[in-house]
Structure 1
Amino acid sequence: MTETASLPASPPDGRLVYRCLTGKDDHAFCERVSKALEEGWRLHGSPSITWSVQDNCGYLAQAVVWGGADVVKR
């Protein structure tokens, strides 16, 4: 969904306009981000990744903001 004009100013389910999605660098994480984008959330900033030697895997963080909100990046 790319049209923000049709989205309400507030996100559904009483959520805040900002979310930070986190998780292992795997298919499930990509599905969560993709679902958020389909629901009307927008990527905000660059993703971040860190490597866990103990778990032998990467962990990602991606901020998203509600598409209908008036968010100013400073």
Structure 2
Amino acid sequence: MKLYRFLSADDTSEFCHKVCAALDKGWELYGSPTYAFDAANGVMRCGQAVTKDVPGQSYSPDLKLGEQ
């Protein structure tokens, strides 16, 4: 099974740490990062999709993706 997550955060080191933590757990970058202005909060936000192959598991909406 292939899992998909979209990581996002304000444009701070928190975002980079979030992506690094996912990569350390075996997630792989998927596509290009995004960068957009969040007008509601007045900040720039970053986003990055990541995927991970998990053999022998079936998808369920209850699956905690961040714990994979």
TM-score between both structures, scaled by the size of structure 2:
0.68
Query: Offset at 1:31?
Result: 0.3
TM-score between both structures, scaled by the size of structure 1:
0.63
Unaligned runs of 5+ in 1: 1-8, 11-16, 70-74
Name the structure with the higher strand share: 2
Measured on the aligned residues, the alpha-carbon RMSD in Å equals 2.2
Unaligned runs of 5+ in 2: 55-68
Which aligned segments of 4 or more residues in structure 1 are displaced greater than 6 angstroms? none
Percent identity of the aligned residues? 33
- 2:45 equivalent to 1:45: no
Equivalences, count: 55
